[in-house]
Chains A and B, each alone.
Chain A
Amino acid sequence: MNEQLRAIADLDRVIHEPGRMMIVALLAAVAECDFLYLLRETELNKGNLSSHLAKLEAAGYVEIEKTYRGKVPQTLLRLTPPGRAAFAAYRQRLNAALVEQLQARRPS
C-alpha cells in the first residue's frame, strides 16, 4: 500500500463519516452547544443527529449533558479531551494525505 492510501486507510472511522464529521468539526470550534444548534447547523434530522451523537458518545468523543433552561429541557453537547485528540489526529491524517497528494504531483 502506498503512503497516500495508508494515510487515508488510517483515518478514524468514527469521525470519517459525513454526518459525524460535521458534528465533530462544529463541536471542535465551540466550547459547548445544545442539540438545537447542531440540528440547525448540520441540517440533519433529529433521528440522524441523535444516532450520530450516540455513536460519538459511545466512542467517548462527545459528552452529553441533559439539563433544563427554565422549564425547557436542554441537551448540552461538548467534545471530550479524547474527542479533541481524535479530531486533531484525524486532521493530521488528512493533512498528511494532502501532503502525499502534493508530493505525488511533483514533476519527475
Chain B
Amino acid sequence: MQTQSLMKDNLHPLSGVPAAADLAQLQALMQRPAQNVNADGSFELGWGVAVLLGGLIPYLNATLPKTVWASWWTSWIGYVPFLCFAFSPYAIPKIIKRFITWPRTGYVANPNEVKLTQLILLMIMGGAIGLGLALAFFFVSDLREAIGRSDVHRQLPHFIWVGAKLLVCGIVAVYLGRKTISRRPALPTAYDAALIQQKLAQIPAGRKQLHAVKFTLLGMFVGIPILIGGVALGLIFWYRIALPQVGISWPQLGVAGFLVVMNALLYLMANAVVIRQLWWKWLVLAFLLVAPVMLAPAIPYPAVNSGLSPTLVSLPPVMLCLGLAWFLSGAATLAWFIRRHPLPDLEDP
C-alpha cells in the first residue's frame, strides 16, 4: 500500500473535505501494524509446525516403547515434542521476525503481545484446569463406587488426598487466572464511536443509519456463526458421501470437520490482508477445507498404543495434512516476503 498516495489527497479538513475522509485515512494507517503481523508468513509457519507436531505425537506414542515412559532418565524424550508443540506458535514467529523480518522492514513491537512469562503462566493454568477436571471426574466416580461398599472409611485417606490435590489445582488455576487474564486495553481507533452514535441519534437520517449499522452487526454476529456451522455440516455430509467405502464414523467425521473448519477460518483471518496479493492462498484455503479429510484414510492411523479415544483416532492424519498445508503456505509466503523486501543498504541517522 502506498502510504503517501493514501495521505496526499484531501488531507486537511480546512480544504473543505469532509472529516470522514481524514478519519478513514487515519484509521487505515492505525490498522496497518496489526494487519502486517503475518505478512512474512511467520504465524503460518509457527502454527503449521504446532499442528504437524500435534499430529505426530500420537504416532510417537505408538512407536515409543513403554519402558521409555517408565524411567525419569528417558521419559523426557516423550515430552520434548509436547514442549515444541506448545511453544512453536510463539517461538517460531519470534525467531523469524528477529532474524528475517525486522532487518528488512524495521523493528516493531505490537501492543498486547503475549510475553513468554505470560505464556508459561497460561500453560500452567491450563494444565491445572485440565488436571483438576480429570481429578474431579475420577473423584466423583470413585466416590460413587465407594458409597455402595461397607469399607468406605478405609478409603477416606485416598479421598482426602485427591481432594487436597483438587484444592491445589483450583487455587493455582484461580490465582494464575487472575494474574494473567486481565482485560487488555483496546487498540486506539480513529473513530469515536460513542460521540458519533450520540450525535447521529439526534438526526432522523442518522437514526436510520444507526439502525442499519445495528442490523448489519446483528447479522454478522448471528449470520457468521450460522454460516460457519452450515459450512462445517455441509462438509461433513460431503465427506461422508465422498468416502462411502472407508469406515469413518459420524463422530470421527464431526471432530475432523470441526478441526478443518476452525483451521480454515484461522487461515482466512491470518491472511486477510496478504491474500489480496497472493491469489494462490485461496487454493490453499480450498485445500484446507477439502483435502485433509479426503486424504486422511490413505494415511495409516496410529491406532495401537497411541493413547487416543476411538473418536479422536482419525485426527492425527487430518492434522498432518493440515499442518503440512499451513507449513508450506507459510514457507512460500516467507520466500515471497524475502524476495519483495531485500535487506536495506541503510545507515541509521
Q: Which residues of A contact B (CB under 8 A)?
A: 8, 11, 16, 18, 21-22, 25-26, 28-44, 46, 50, 69, 72-76, 84, 87-88, 91-92, 94-99, 101-103, 105-107
Q: Is the CB of A95 within 8 A of B348?
A: no
Tally of A-B residue pairs with Cβ under 8 A? 138
Nearest-CB residue, chain B, relative to A99: B199
Please, how many angstroms separate the alpha-carbon atoms of A21 and B30 in the complex? 11
Q: How far apart sit A72 and B7, CA to CA, in the bound complex (Å)?
A: 32
Give the shortest distance, in Å, between A85 (CB) and chain B (any CB). 11
Question: CA–CA, A22 to B179, complex, Å?
Answer: 36
- Minimum distance in angstroms from A72 CB to a CB of chain B: 7
A22–B108 CA distance with the chains assembled, in angstroms = 16
Bound Cα distance from A18 to B191, whole angstroms: 18
Cβ contact within 8 Å between B106 and A21: no
Which residues of B sit under 8 angstroms from A25, Cβ to Cβ?
26, 29-30, 190
CA–CA, A99 and B106, complex, Å:
37
For residue B298, CB closer than 8 A to chain A, the reply is no
Residue of A with least CB distance to B14: A8
Given the complex of chains A and B, what is the CA–CA distance between A26 and B36 in angstroms? 12
Q: Is the interface of A mostly helix, strand, loop or mixed?
A: helix
Decide yes or no: A91 and B192 within 8 Å by CB, A29-B32, A97-B19 being known contacts: yes
The distance in angstroms between the C-alpha atoms of A97 and B19, with both chains bound, is 6
Is the C-beta of B70 less than 8 angstroms from some C-beta in chain A? no
Q: Which residues of B contact A74 (CB under 8 A)?
A: 107, 348
Whether B111 is near chain A, meaning CB under 8 Å from some CB there, is yes
Q: From residue A78, how far is it (CB to closest CB) to chain B in Å? A: 9
Q: Is the CB of A101 within 8 A of B19?
A: yes
User: What per-residue 1/0 map shows which CB atoms of B10-22 lie under 8 Å from chain A?
Assistant: 0111100011101
Q: Determine if B283 is an interface residue (Cβ-Cβ < 8 Å).
A: no
Contact of B346 with A by CB under 8 A: yes
Cα–Cα, bound, A52→B19 (Å): 23
Q: In angstroms, how far is the closest chain B Cβ from the Cβ of A82?
A: 15
A37 and B30 contact, CB distance less than 8 A: no
Contact call A41/B8, Cβ cutoff below 8 A? no
B3 touches A41 (CB 8 A): yes
Measured between C-beta atoms, what is the minimum distance from B342 to chain A in Å?
Answer: 12
Contact of A35 among B18, B106, B190 (CB under 8 A): B106
* Residues A102 and B199 in contact, CB atoms below 8 Å apart: yes
